[in-house]
Structure 1
Amino acid sequence: MSNSKFIRIPDPHLRGSRTNYDDEDDDDEDDDIEAMISKERAKIHEEHAESTELTGERYKRSNKPKRRIELSLTVIHHTDTPCVLFVGCEPPIDPVRLTLSYLDQIKQTGSAQTRSVQRLEPIYDTCIAALPELLILGEKIFKEKLGGVDADAKPQVSYKILSRIRNCTKLTSAKIIEELPRKVPPSHRVSLTNPDIVILVIAYKSVAGIGIAPRFEELKKYNVSQLVDVPDLDLDQGGRSRSRVTNAVVAQSTSDASFGGND
């Protein structure tokens, strides 16, 4: 056997066929890439649309009309003393007028709409529980409500001073009754039996306040429970007694669990 070398001659048909196969594969790969790109692009658009919708929804939620916040004209101040509760009134509410309006309502309706409060103690303003500050406050209130030291325009009234001191060692009733009348306009006179007004001095810990209470005896010393239990003959209630109570500026309660108390 002779050694012979085989020379491979490429078959143009086979070569062409191979080339066609390669072109088809390239076309398939191009189609696959385009499909992937289109799919990815569609996914991006979809995610963007969802994100835009979510953002728009959040924007809508954030731009909803905000609920109007109503500011209360009364503020409850809880104390550490059992059965004592302070209610602060913002202008234009007048604590004395508010109290009188409520007490008159009790007389007219026979119902106090609460079971907790025993007595109301309206005051106009507060100060540090010290005699000098109390005298300054008294002079200011008397000038405004009673006409000042030299006032002749205000009608003459009779008055007495009533102090209620709780957990306070800086003030004494004796000292208040001795010093405070000097700040009352001299045109007004003292009456311990049947005064037109009662000057209330309320002291609690380090705070003191002054109020002017008209019709004090008529309205049972602003004792709600006593006022409710008294039949109003003008309303023809047939002697029906009433029961229940409510709160105003500075109130006392008959319940140990709430704020209020007895003398």
Structure 2
Amino acid sequence: MATEIKSKPNSHPNKINKKRKQYLPHNKPVKKGAHPLCPGVQGFFITCDGGREHKASHEAINVIDSFYEDVVEGLESQVEKLKPSVKPTNKITKFSYSDSSDEGNNENKDAEDDGQRDVDELQKKNEDEPVIGVNIVSRDKTGPQNEDDVSFNKKTQEIEEKPEDHLNQEAEAVLPPVKKLRVRTDTAESGNGSSLKVEKKSVDQLIEAELAELGNKSKRRFSKLDPGCNGVVFIQMRKRDGDPGPKDIVQHMMTSLASTRKHISRFLLRVLPIEITCYASDEEIRRAIKSLVDKYFPVETQTPRKFAVLYEARANTGIDGAKIIDAVAKSVPLPHKVDLGSPDLSIVVQIVKTVCLIGVAERYKELAKYNVRQLTSATT
């Protein structure tokens, strides 16, 4: 008789799967996000520990945003230092109300001379005639007066008022200008014409507007894109007019970390600036890199720079790395030379699947290859 072999049912079928998930987190498939990495963007290429991409992306946005604010504040302070300081002067300024200053000054001098002559003549007459109290009282009364008295009163009044006006004008020249409040004005077109509507926004309204802008993903300055590889994070930067570029932000980050040794992250490893993204082919790379070469490697220069090409590929085995390096190196004009030992600038070329990421880094080897963990560790 054939013996029947009965298979024992597994009392705990999920135990093995749970242990594999706990002890082998690197074998998890990468989930494709709603915003994949594509050509035509710029930002920051960041490496992190495998399986920590989600936490690393949120941490990277906070860290990059803080250093971005530091760079912006530094640029604003430099602009304020370059502005000339205006100090109030105690000089007396004379105002002329006529078309030509020379004619106005001559007329004023003639009028003053005539008035002085009339006053002298009246004083001589009063010295010759006896002093009568009625004449003194009649000048104070509002009744009719003589022509001589009227002319005398008018001219003495002008002489007394002139120094007061002069002092007022001098005080206005010395006082600094008053700052005006900034009010937002919106023009609304009507049937008859355009009318101005003045709107003053409170602090609560400004906060609500900023929160609404942050809620809209298309208006955020920093947002994450899914590169589709393990241990890699890409943070897109929507650069506006006057904003510093990714290179300036990363350079400031690395120099400050090298001097302070302050721990700023748990999951971030290398942070590389990316200014150009295109498809990973020789022709596309030659076209896209022209703007970057014109910016950092101009043809007409008195100080040629030494450069090196840093190449690395992920999830792409069909591309030839030597051709990519050769295409990037030949795109740089002749005054600049290749120096792998001590380059002034390093051209970073990162290939992730079918996308090529290109950027420029300064002092790459001196700053621990832009590795945040090594810069902040005590052994370096």
Same fold per superposition (TM over 0.5):
yes
| Deviation readout 1:151-207 (Å, 9 max, x if unpaired) | 223631101111111112453321112222111021100101111111111111121
Are 2:265 and 1:114 aligned? yes
In the alignment, residue 188 of structure 1 is paired with which amino acid? H
Cα 1:154/1:124, change in 2 over 3 Å: farther
Structure 1: which 4+ aligned runs deviate by more than 4 Å? Answer: none
Residue 209 of structure 1: aligned partner: 357
Q: Which residue, 340, 347, 371 being the options, matches 1:223?
A: 371
Task: Kindly indicate whether the alpha-carbon contact (under 8 Å) linking 1:146 and 1:154 is maintained by their aligned counterparts in 2.
Answer: no
Cα 1:95/1:184, change in 2 over 3 Å: same
In the alignment, residue 296 of structure 2 is paired with which amino acid? K
Q: Which residue, 110, 121, 129 being the options, matches 2:280?
A: 129
Are 2:340 and 1:192 aligned? yes
Cα 1:120/1:172, change in 2 over 3 Å: farther
Residue 141 of structure 1: aligned partner: 292
Residue 165 of structure 1: aligned partner: 313
Task: Kindly indicate whether the alpha-carbon contact (under 8 Å) linking 2:312 and 2:349 is maintained by their aligned counterparts in 1.
Answer: yes
Cα 1:202/1:154, change in 2 over 3 Å: farther
Name the % identity. Answer: 26
Task: Kindly indicate whether the alpha-carbon contact (under 8 Å) linking 1:111 and 1:242 is maintained by their aligned counterparts in 2.
Answer: no
How many equivalent residue pairs?
A: 166
- Shift of the alpha carbon at 1:224? 1.4
TM-score under structure 2 normalisation? 0.41
Cα 1:242/1:193, change in 2 over 3 Å: closer
* SS of equivalent residue, structure 1 residue 121: strand
In the alignment, residue 195 of structure 1 is paired with which amino acid? P
In the alignment, residue 370 of structure 2 is paired with which amino acid? Y
Residue 6 of structure 1: aligned partner: none
In 1, Cα distance between the equivalents of 2:237 and 2:302? 26
- Shift of the alpha carbon at 1:211? 0.8
Q: Which residue, 75, 81, 93 being the options, matches 2:229?
A: 81
Residue 107 of structure 2: aligned partner: none
Are 2:223 and 1:72 aligned? no
The two structures, once aligned, show a CA RMSD in angstroms of 2.1
In the alignment, residue 332 of structure 2 is paired with which amino acid? V
* SS of equivalent residue, structure 1 residue 85: strand
Cα 1:154/1:135, change in 2 over 3 Å: farther
Task: Kindly indicate whether the alpha-carbon contact (under 8 Å) linking 1:196 and 1:215 is maintained by their aligned counterparts in 2.
Answer: yes
- Shift of the alpha carbon at 1:65? 5.4
TM-score under structure 1 normalisation? 0.58
**Can you give the 5+ residue segments of structure 2 that lack an aligned partner in the other structure?**
1-203, 214-218
| Deviation readout 1:227-263 (Å, 9 max, x if unpaired) | 112xxxxxxxxxxx279xxxxxxxxxxxxxxxxxxxx
Residue 55 of structure 1: aligned partner: none
In 1, Cα distance between the equivalents of 2:324 and 2:252? 29
Residue 150 of structure 2: aligned partner: none
In the alignment, residue 118 of structure 1 is paired with which amino acid? L
In 1, Cα distance between the equivalents of 2:350 and 2:227? 14
Are 2:244 and 1:98 aligned? no
Bigger mean CA deviation after superposition, 162-171 or 119-128 = 162-171
